[in-house]
Amino acid sequence: MTALCALFIRDLRLAVRVGGGALIGVLFFLVVVTLMPFAIGPDLGLLARMGPAILWLGALLASLLALDRLLATDHEDGSLDLILTARVPLELAVAVKALAHWLTTGLPLVVSSPLLGLLLNLEAKASGAVALTLLAGTPALTFIGLIGAALTVALRRGGLLLAILVLPLTIPVLIFGVAASNAAIAGPVPFGAPFGILCALTLISLVIGPIAAAVALRQGLE
């Protein structure tokens, strides 16, 4: 337990120190969302209708952006070798790493989403709904991304491949995340149904992500 705690605290520290890049994801989110109206036009009604989709896409891309740091840096400097010799199950170790990663990259996206909702002319209720669905859905993005990060860990330029591997897997999360937000704003579907499925997707990925990542890492040993 102390071992996992140490890993958790160390990953949090690394993320907030110089070069950690914890806030790069939020910055990317901000830029992507700001770019959208330039393409769509400043029609506030249209922006408000598309708001949840824009925010979800932005959050999806932003959380993807940071994924290649999740395991690759530990692989490059030999830390991963030592983590493998620790007396903790690899599944738990990568789960803890993913959790720390979500706290430093996913959670800031959730927190900043209401602010960006303001730019897209979302009402307070709509912003709240998007933030709630992001809170429920972004852990799934991180834990699905964990699998991709484990698969591409040994590759020199794994970042792009990682995106290609992970993006199709995130489609269900995107569908139900946006659906739940829209349901809360306009209906006609009740909010509960898609939100329940979104939560279920997150729970499933919380279980499958670490297991699959551990398998991928062990298989990748040569």
Residues at the interface with another protein (CB under 8 A): 2-3, 5-7, 9-10, 13-14, 17-21, 23-24, 27, 30-31, 34, 37-38, 41-44, 76-79, 81-88, 118-119, 121, 221-222
Q: Using omega within 30 degrees of 0 as the cis cutoff, is the peptide bond preceding 188 cis?
A: yes
* Buried residues in 35-69 as b, exposed as e (16+ CB within 10 A): ebbeeeeeeeeebbbbbbbbbbbbbbebbbbbbbb
C-beta of residue 181 within 8 angstroms of C-beta of residue 160: no
Specify the residue, 21 or 159, whose C-beta has the smaller distance to another protein.
21
CB of 167 vs another protein, minimal distance in Å: 24
Specify the residue, 59 or 74, whose C-beta has the smaller distance to another protein.
74
C-beta of residue 126 within 8 angstroms of C-beta of residue 117: yes
CB of 98 vs another protein, minimal distance in Å: 16
Helix 192-220 with 171-185: angle, nearest 10 deg: 160
CB of 152 vs another protein, minimal distance in Å: 18
CB of 170 vs another protein, minimal distance in Å: 25
Specify the residue, 168 or 221, whose C-beta has the smaller distance to another protein.
221
Distance CA 4, CA 66 (A): 22
Specify the residue, 2 or 156, whose C-beta has the smaller distance to another protein.
2
CB of 177 vs another protein, minimal distance in Å: 23
CB of 21 vs another protein, minimal distance in Å: 7
Q: Alpha carbon 198 to chain centroid distance?
A: 14
Distance CA 37, CA 7 (A): 41
The helix (H) or strand (E) run that includes residue 113 is helix 107-119
Specify the residue, 35 or 207, whose C-beta has the smaller distance to another protein.
35
CB of 204 vs another protein, minimal distance in Å: 28
Distance CA 214, CA 30 (A): 33
Specify the residue, 3 or 204, whose C-beta has the smaller distance to another protein.
3
Q: Could you count the other beta carbons within 10 Å of the beta carbon of residue 125? A: 10
Specify the residue, 73 or 208, whose C-beta has the smaller distance to another protein.
73
Kindly provide the residue ranges of all beta strands, DSSP E only, lying in the chain, ordered along the sequence. none
